[in-house]
Amino acid sequence: MNINTSVALVTGANRGIGKAFVEALHQAGAKRIYATARNIDSLKDIVAIDPERIIPIAIDITNPDSITTAAQSLQDVNLLINNAGVLGTGGFFNSTSLETAHWEMETNYFGTLYMIRAFAPILKRNGGGAIANLLSISSVVNVPVFGSYSASKAALYSLTQGARAELAQQGTLVVGIFPGPVDTAMSDGVPLDKVPPSQIALATLQAVEQGIEDVNPDPVSQEVFAGIRQDPKAVEKQFAGMLPQ
């Protein structure tokens, strides 16, 4: 699909990669961009870039009623970018591990599932369109310092594959993006080289235009996937070594 003829919806658009997506869509000439976040007031800065083309919408992706209400009025969407997500810390065995795991799974997996279910019929009516899901290198290898986050992103990877299969008949492209560490507030303290959010957004939009299903948008991502193809157990052990001794 052509980005300059798209009507896009971006979740978690108030900061980080989501904000970079809105900026990249605007620069690429998208006809309309629905910038969404739980708190609509947090979108003021991004909307100020172009209030006529960037429209703020309140969506809580963990609340199906919130999504349904928004979808009823956003019938022109043909590009859905599922960016919103959360990241906890602490591994699997501290006192808040279960609460953290539920929070991450409800947002990163179920929230994206809710969005896809609500907007897939709209995409179908608009010719198929595309869905882009923000995954992670932790979708394919567990990063133990973010264990349950990794599990939620692995679930999202499986969802992405399943949605791709089920939506192929309606002509919907489903893209998975697998960044390594990105220079956002969410990745503070991650001891790896980071890339700017704009790099993720631009690589994703290029993939959508070219019909590419899986995107490795940065050197860390490319290295991890190359390592998995060669020796997945070695990659697992490498990341296990991140745990403090």
CATH number at residue 211: 3.40.50.720
Residue 106 lies in a domain: yes
Q: Using alpha carbons only, what angle is made at residue 117 by residues 114 and 121, rounded to the nearest 5 degrees?
A: 150
Task: For the chain, report the end-to-end CA distance as a whole number of angstroms.
Answer: 49
- Number of domains comprising the chain: 1
Residue 188 lies in a domain: yes
Residue 19 lies in a domain: yes
Token couple for 79: 């590009």
Asked if pLDDT for residue 204 goes beyond 70, the answer is: yes
Helix axes 219-230 and 232-240, enclosed angle (nearest 10): 130
Range of the domain at 117: 3-240
Residue 221 lies in a domain: yes
Residue 121 lies in a domain: yes
Residue 218 lies in a domain: yes
Bridge partners of 57, per DSSP, are: 36
Among 185, 114, 118, 108, smallest CA distance to 153 is for 108
Residue 245 lies in a domain: no
pLDDT, position 243: 84
Cα(68)–Cα(54) distance, rounded to whole angstroms? 20
Read off the pTM. Answer: 0.95
Band of pLDDT at residue 186, cut at 50, 70 and 90: low
Residue the block writes with tokens 């947002």: 107
The amino acid that residue 127 corresponds to is G
**DSSP per position, the chain:** --GGG-EEEESSTTSHHHHHHHHHHHHTT-SEEEEEESSGGGGHHHHTT-TTTEEEEE--TT-HHHHHHHHHH-TT--EEEE-------S-SSSTTHHHHHHHHIIIIIIIHHHHHHHHHHHHHHTT--EEEEE--GGGTS--GGGHHHHHHHHHHHHHHHHHHHHHGGGT-EEEEE----BSSGGGTT--S--B-HHHHHHHHHHHHHHT-SEE--SHHHHHHHHHHHH-HHHHHHHHHTTS--
Cα(130)–Cα(230) distance, rounded to whole angstroms? 31
| pLDDT digit string, tens, across residues 2-23 | 999 999 999 999 999 999 999 9
| pLDDT digit string, tens, across residues 54-101 | 999 999 999 999 999 999 999 999 999 999 999 998 889 998 999 999
Band of pLDDT at residue 192, cut at 50, 70 and 90: low
Residue 234 lies in a domain: yes
**Is beta strand 32-37 parallel, antiparallel or unpaired with respect to 7-10?**
parallel
Asked if pLDDT for residue 245 goes beyond 90, the answer is: no
